[in-house]
Structure 1
Amino acid sequence: MPTPAPPADPPVDPTAESPAARRREQRGWYVYDWANSAFYTTVISVFLGPYLIAVARTAACAQDFPQIAAATCADGFDRLTVQNPGLGYVDVLGMDIRPAAFFGLITTVAVLGQILILPIVGALADHIGRKKEMLGVFAYAGALAAMGLYFVEGDRYLLGGVLFILANLAYGSSIVVYDSFLPQISTPQERDHVSSRGWAIGYLGGGLLLALNLVLYLNYEALGLTQGESVRISMMSAGLWWATFTIVPLLRLRNRPVPAHERTTRAAVGGSFRQLGRTLKGLRQYPLTLLFLVAYLVYNDGIQTVIGNSSAFASEALKLKPEVQISAILMVQFVAFFGALLLGSLARRFGTKRTVLASLVLWTVIVVMALFVREGDALQFYLMAFAIAIVLGGSQALSRSLFSQVIPKGKEAEYFSLLQISDKGSAFIGALTVTIALQLTNSYRIAILSMIVFFVLGFVLLALVNLPKAIRAAGNEVPEGI
């Protein structure tokens, strides 16, 4: 029978700590955004999808057309599969999957995996209080998986899929633990500033490594590399960047005391499940927190869908070259750094809720602009990307800050896991809306315009949230200018 630990002190109130101590932790906390954003920008946003599809095609070619050279097969893959409709598939656990669909399949598996494990991660972090150690475990697991992508070549599409799923699960789990530090290292008055600065620094770090990797990618021949080698080095560098800079938050962040819990790992996991169940049942006691969560689910789904379809919009609707798309992605990273800081400053002046609502109005204007961007006009596309960058980081950072105000103390990781899975779990709604719009109209302009529903509905739901009442109901202090 495990012996329970002695009672611990109540959670440390950040207002009771010195400003210098808080700033030290905040600076370390910022660096984790700098560290992990490299994985999202370099691996997920730019390199892995096209590369892994190409590897899957190589595998399909080697299996179905062994007599044809790999380079010739890759160039004529679509023609060969049209001529041989029963061929051109790769095997995934006994299923025949088209190479073009392979990345979408593993992304779906990763999302479903996050929906299952993130609440458990959040409950365990709050239950045992070893957040710093858990952050390190997930960060280094994800970083090692990302570095392992260097070995994905030839026909190793399954290795790439497994490593991506592991890296994605570790990334999402680390973000839950990371976000849960926010209310512990900042006072209610500091929350908007700290959240916005962390988000901004993340864009800067991710953008800097992406810029270096694009230089490598665009000059691979001059450096004596193949195109595939330049991509594999870029993906490995994201994992190395993630691992290296994670050292800083692990040195700066501190665990907070939690109530007594089971000493054995098995008992602690069982206890975390029971705590998660109590939290989910208790969510009914915080209806305004739940309303905010639904509002965020709706408008963030619109944001993620616009971002996820921006490259397809550029290529299909505007007929722009890949170089324009890549340079626009790079520009967004650096402009979003200033955008997040700008919206954080506006929140201090006009109030956080008003600033988020204003950002949703701007998102609505942006998707309407998509109707009027001329085909082949790169300048207009850059202007649209610039407008997105201004509101992108700020709207998400301030939403994170608002959410941290309406959750009860001691359950930060659990509630942030709900925020994360509402983000991941709702992603299919926006994707489905775009699919239906394309099916009915065959127009990416109309598909992007359909996102206006998400921004308008999200605006209305957020406007209905009485934030001071929600904050008091969660037992927290209402900051000025909320």
Structure 2
Amino acid sequence: MNTAAQSEAPHPASELASGPAVSNKGQIIAWASWDWGSAAFNAVMTTFVFTVYLTSKAFGGGDKASATLGAALAIAGVAIAVLAPVTGQRSDAGGRRKLWLGVNTILVAILTGLCFFVFPRPEFLLLGVCLIALGNVFFEFAGVNYNAMLAQISTPANIGKVSGFGWGMGYLGGIVALLVVLKLFVQPSFEWFGASTQDSLNIRLVAVFSALWLFIFALPLLFAVPEFSVPKTDRRLGFFDSYRLLGRRISAIYKTSPHTIYFLLSSAIFRDGLAAVFTFGGVIAAGTFGFELTQVIFFAIFGNVVAAVGAMIGGFLDDRIGPKSVIVISLIGLLIAGTSILVLGNGDYVFFGAHWAGSTTFWVFGLFLCLFVGPAQASSRAYLARLAPEGESGELFGLYATTGRAVSFLAPALFTLCITIATPFVAAGAAQRWGILGIMVVLLAGLLVILPVKSPDKADIAVVPVR
């Protein structure tokens, strides 16, 4: 019998507190394997290789192609914002987190593989950016369920380390994937058909490799981590009813745990800036600092090493000083490093008797950017998992994706806007560097809005209506 009192009954605890008393190491490794595999999409496709290919001269030039890519990603962000919370809610209600993680991962792999058909001609630019943008949509849907599983495999004492381990595995997976790409496709160690540069066959085959990498390393999670178990409900909500329920739950969360909402809103802003650092990092390295694709990949390898170290150190600190402190420190570090690239990257300088070219500036401060991105991402995920009501992690991480993607147009749009504004005032091809300014504005806004938000140990667990 469903009564009003029952529908408003509080959950006894957070999902994390109701989870296992002791973590299963095998499940943690299997869970993190998905992060390892996801590097093929994050590092290879959207950051250091395929987007660099899309913004090359073959597709019409860096400024125009970069603006097109930014616009496509902004549109994808709107789609994610509208759909993500309901996908999380419905996977929670049906006890199908793992199922939908698998479905969305396969869709990302298929879209990634289709990038093989993006030939190096301007008329294929739109196809390329659309495949990357659509891949981002399904990748985010997969991430909703993946993040929700964090509370299933960790405990209150180690959630920071587990989250940081997952991010670290993602970065290390990126290193290995990029090394394979470098040695098989970009600078092949032996002659084979995939090494051919005719019609950029070698780069297009990178997309096929990335699709297989993502799919293979998703399998351990799908086999080793059990499906989330929920009580059977007497009816299934329709699509629009799901939004009405979502509205009631957001209202209830705001009344009983307002700082959960405050964190969702504040993290939305700075996470968009974090995503932009990696999305446009390789594009800026090539277009602004003249890196060849090989140099971009070498930078990516070193950057992923630094990012993995940063994520794991951040996870260690998270369990000791709290996720909010880790996030604030990371954002300050990102602002210092990014501003240094913007200010010092246009010319040659002498520091303490040493000559620094613009590329040296990018290497030094670009690696500092990598150092601080991982801890902010890992601690943001761990912060929310600490506050998720029992059985509601998927929906809450859906809101996490939605609030993030509700403003996900912000960094790409400001990146594009700054390039557009700068174009008439700088030399041809020099406007792209000013896109960094747009990303820094977003990170600064994120820092300012998270400062008044309570740490999770001082915030309440939300009480949400069941139906």
TM-score, with length taken from structure 2 = 0.80
Q: Give 1:90's aligned residue.
A: none
Shift of 1:153: 4.2
- Higher relative contact order (Cα pairs below 8 Å, separated by 6+ residues): 2
Q: Give 2:36's aligned residue.
A: 34
Q: For 1:466, what is the secondary structure of its paired residue?
A: coil
Q: Residues 403, 202 of structure 1: CA spacing in aligned structure 2 closer, same or farther, 3 A cutoff?
A: same
Is 2:397 the counterpart of 1:427?
no
> What whole-Å deviation, never above 9, does each CA across 1:265-288 have from its counterpart, x for those lacking one?
xx5656644432332333422321
Is 2:89 the counterpart of 1:123?
yes
Q: For 1:472, what is the secondary structure of its paired residue?
A: coil
Is 2:246 the counterpart of 1:276?
yes
Moved more, 219-228 or 122-131: 219-228
Does the 8 A contact of 1:11 with 1:258 survive in 2? no
> What whole-Å deviation, never above 9, does each CA across 1:325-369 have from its counterpart, x for those lacking one?
332122212221111111222333433322221112211221232
Does the 8 A contact of 1:127 with 1:275 survive in 2? no
Of the three residues 105, 108, 113, the one matched with 1:147 is 113
Q: Give 1:350's aligned residue.
A: 321
Does the 8 A contact of 2:36 with 2:169 survive in 1? yes
Does the 8 A contact of 1:47 with 1:235 survive in 2? no
Shift of 1:166: 4.4
Moved more, 297-306 or 128-137: 297-306
Moved more, 306-315 or 192-201: 306-315
Structure 1 letter corresponding to 2:31: W
Q: For 1:369, what is the secondary structure of its paired residue?
A: helix
Structure 2 letter corresponding to 1:24: G
Q: Residues 394, 407 of structure 1: CA spacing in aligned structure 2 closer, same or farther, 3 A cutoff?
A: same
> What whole-Å deviation, never above 9, does each CA across 1:68-125 have from its counterpart, x for those lacking one?
xxxxxxxxx78xxxxxxxxxxxxxxxxxxx8776544543443332222212211111
Shift of 1:433: 3.5
CA distance in 2, matches of 1:324, 1:243: 27
CA distance in 1, matches of 2:19, 2:278: 39
> What whole-Å deviation, never above 9, does each CA across 1:43-85 have from its counterpart, x for those lacking one?
222333354578995xxxxxxxxxxxxxxxxxxx78xxxxxxx
CA distance in 2, matches of 1:403, 1:179: 10
Q: Residues 187, 317 of structure 1: CA spacing in aligned structure 2 closer, same or farther, 3 A cutoff?
A: same
Of the three residues 203, 212, 218, the one matched with 1:240 is 212
Is 2:283 the counterpart of 1:303?
no
Does the 8 A contact of 1:127 with 1:272 survive in 2? no
Q: Residues 320, 348 of structure 1: CA spacing in aligned structure 2 closer, same or farther, 3 A cutoff?
A: same
Q: Give 2:156's aligned residue.
A: 188
Is 2:363 the counterpart of 1:382?
yes
CA distance in 1, matches of 2:290, 2:127: 34
Q: Residues 47, 307 of structure 1: CA spacing in aligned structure 2 closer, same or farther, 3 A cutoff?
A: closer
Q: Residues 379, 138 of structure 1: CA spacing in aligned structure 2 closer, same or farther, 3 A cutoff?
A: same
CA distance in 1, matches of 2:282, 2:107: 30
Q: Give 2:452's aligned residue.
A: 464
Shift of 1:239: 0.9
Does the 8 A contact of 2:187 with 2:294 survive in 1? no
Q: Give 1:138's aligned residue.
A: 104
Q: Residues 162, 309 of structure 1: CA spacing in aligned structure 2 closer, same or farther, 3 A cutoff?
A: closer
> What whole-Å deviation, never above 9, does each CA across 1:386-433 have from its counterpart, x for those lacking one?
211211111110111112122322221111112123323323223343
Aligned residues, how many? 429
CA distance in 1, matches of 2:456, 2:68: 46
Shift of 1:179: 0.5
Is 2:233 the counterpart of 1:261?
yes
Q: For 2:272, what is the secondary structure of its paired residue?
A: helix
Give unmatched runs, 5+ long, in structure 2: 1-10, 349-356
Does the 8 A contact of 2:95 with 2:227 survive in 1? yes
CA distance in 2, matches of 1:276, 1:473: 17
Moved more, 151-160 or 395-404: 151-160
Is 2:190 the counterpart of 1:202?
no
Does the 8 A contact of 2:34 with 2:218 survive in 1? yes
Moved more, 178-187 or 340-349: 340-349
Q: For 2:24, what is the secondary structure of its paired residue?
A: helix
RMSD, matched Cα:
3.5
Q: Residues 353, 239 of structure 1: CA spacing in aligned structure 2 closer, same or farther, 3 A cutoff?
A: same
Shift of 1:234: 1.1
Bigger radius of gyration among the two: 1
Give unmatched runs, 5+ long, in structure 1: 1-8, 58-76, 79-97, 477-482
Q: Residues 380, 54 of structure 1: CA spacing in aligned structure 2 closer, same or farther, 3 A cutoff?
A: closer
Shift of 1:127: 1.3
Structure 2 letter corresponding to 1:467: S
Does the 8 A contact of 1:34 with 1:245 survive in 2? yes
Shift of 1:475: 6.7
Of the three residues 144, 151, 156, the one matched with 1:176 is 144
Q: Give 1:83's aligned residue.
A: none
